[in-house]
Structure 1
Amino acid sequence: MALSVYMDEYHSSQQVCPDDVLLSWASEHEKRKGEAFQNLNKLANSNIKVNRNYSITHDGRSQAGSPRQKVKKTGSKRISMAPRSDISCTRLGGICQPHRYVCQGRYLKDKCSGAKMRQCCMPVGAWSVFCNGHHNNRVRACDVHGCGAFNSKRGNGLHKAVDLVCDDYGIVNAPFSGTLAGPVSQKDPAGNHYDGVKLLSDVHCVKIFNIRPYRYIGPVARGEAMGYLLPLQERFSGITSHLELQMCDGTDPSPFI
């Protein structure tokens, strides 16, 4: 009897109400669903944060990097910008044309617009007459003391200038407009000194010897009197009186005279 009562109590304690089981399962399901929803929210917020950070960082780097963009190097040579017009050439009396064409005078670079092959052709006689009373710039011919052409033989060297025939004490005029840039002097192998003046412009630079300038500094206009020719007959009997014209860079001035 006692054993039967005990077994009945045991079985009653092990029985579970179906409603309680359903309630427990539903509660557990809702709990897991809530945890999954929270995880999804966290993941979504994380992605949004990452995207925002990337956007900010990307924009910041783009803005900071745009002024510092590297320019591709085209080489070690400098690229010179050509003039926008031909006025630099025409005001000197030249003509802009492709340098493959024949130029009776001399080509000057960087004076013409357009392609680099277009250069300024300076005609012969581009400068005005130096010596007053003469119709042209006549190069000194050979005499007992030598010849006046460029690269003519002078002792053991060559004459890197041109001698233009002038009269003793004759007025010497400026061949182009420019600026007088001070006195110049030179000495020949025999020890003779020759004085003169430097004349320069935006294009040309010349040294004129055997003259006595009226002044050594200041602007001068084309055709304006600069000074007078110093006599050479006193020191060199039989020589042709002349001034000596020398380009500052040692090139031949013949195309301009």
Structure 2
Amino acid sequence: MLGKTSLLLCLLLLGLALGIESESERKVKKEQKGKEPPRNKARSAGAGAGGGDGGVGGVGGGGSSNSMASTARVKAKSGPGQNKGQAKRPGSDKVARSQKKAAGPRNDAGCTAIGGICQRNTYVCQGRYLKEKCVGTPGRQCCMPAGGWDVFCAGHHHNRVRACDGFGCGAFNSVRNGARFKGVDIVCDDYGKINAPFTGTLGGPVGRREADGIQFDGVKLSNSVHCVKIFHIRPHRYTGPISQGETLGYLLPLQERLSGITSHLELQMCDQSDPTAFI
């Protein structure tokens, strides 16, 4: 009887000892879990959620969290601070074009090579000013001396501007058909030879129609300095180089169409400026 009682007492003490040990182990695990960092908690929570859905679900949950983290890192790297220096400022293209346009010539060679002088356009020029030939401010332009043009009409000693007759006046800016005439009429003879006033290149046929329906045909002549349109003539050719004084063509007969008018050719500058100083 005494032996059974001691055996029962031993078993009771052993069970009590095991219970105390398991209780102490639970306390230690609880303390360690409380000290775990927040990041590890989040990972363990994600793993637990994945594990709850099964093996495949657990792997998918971990991959989703990793992809979200990598996306956040990419966004942080390519944030507004990085693209700030790469973005174009508004209007930068316009500024670049205006600077390129305002650059102009680098020296005065474009003016001096054709016999001109670079000076301020407020000074008197015995001829005409050409733009974009001189370096500096826009007010500094190339002064081309007048003269040097040959006589247009063969058999004439000089270029004579047509005076007023029953059909109008031939001077520059005279009133013609209710508008200002931006050209000059030079007196010539019907079917008379017309010479090139300067060396240049023929630029093809030109035409002009008056308000009364009359069509006037001619040719364009230009070089690096001058550009003119000559009407009322029939040129021998419309293209190619031509030398000063070389025969350009002949004058069309105006008397057959406008009886009593002073026969003439019509001269216009391509920019509609006054050609009087050159003739």
For these two proteins, the number of residue pairs brought into alignment is: 188
Query: Would the alpha carbon gap of residues 171 and 91 (structure 1) be closer, same or farther in structure 2, given more than 3 Å must change?
Result: farther
2:244 alignment counterpart: 222
Answer yes or no: is 1:182 the counterpart of 2:200.
no
2:269 alignment counterpart: 247
Q: Between the two proteins, what is the percent identity of the paired residues?
A: 63
Query: Would the alpha carbon gap of residues 90 and 139 (structure 1) be closer, same or farther in structure 2, given more than 3 Å must change?
Result: farther
1:80 alignment counterpart: 103
Distance 1:209 1:112 in 2: 32
Distance 2:172 2:206 in 1: 20
Spell out the pairing of 1:18-167 with structure 2 (5 A cutoff): 76=98, 78-86=101-109, 88-112=110-134, 117-167=139-189
SS at match of 1:110: coil
Tell me the TM-score normalised to structure 2 length. 0.59
Deviation at 1:95, TM superposition (A): 3.2
Higher relative contact order (CA 8 A, sep 6+): 1
Instruction: Provide the alpha-carbon RMSD of the alignment.
Output: 2.7
Give CA deviations for 1:205-247 in whole Å, capped at 9, x if unaligned.
2211000100011111222111111111111122111100112
Q: In structure 1, what residue type is equivalent to 2:107? A: R
Q: In structure 2, what residue type is equivalent to 1:252? A: D
Distance 1:222 1:93 in 2: 17
Tell me the TM-score normalised to structure 1 length. 0.64
Query: Would the alpha carbon gap of residues 159 and 118 (structure 1) be closer, same or farther in structure 2, given more than 3 Å must change?
Result: same
Give CA deviations for 1:80-131 in whole Å, capped at 9, x if unaligned.
3335344x43454433333222113211122345665442222332422222
Distance 1:128 1:229 in 2: 16
Distance 2:117 2:238 in 1: 32
The structure carrying a bigger helix percent of its residues is: 2
2:193 alignment counterpart: 171
- Contact preservation (8 Å) 2:104, 2:135: no
Deviation at 1:162, TM superposition (A): 1.0
Query: Would the alpha carbon gap of residues 131 and 74 (structure 1) be closer, same or farther in structure 2, given more than 3 Å must change?
Result: same
Gaps of 5+ in 2: 1-84, 86-91
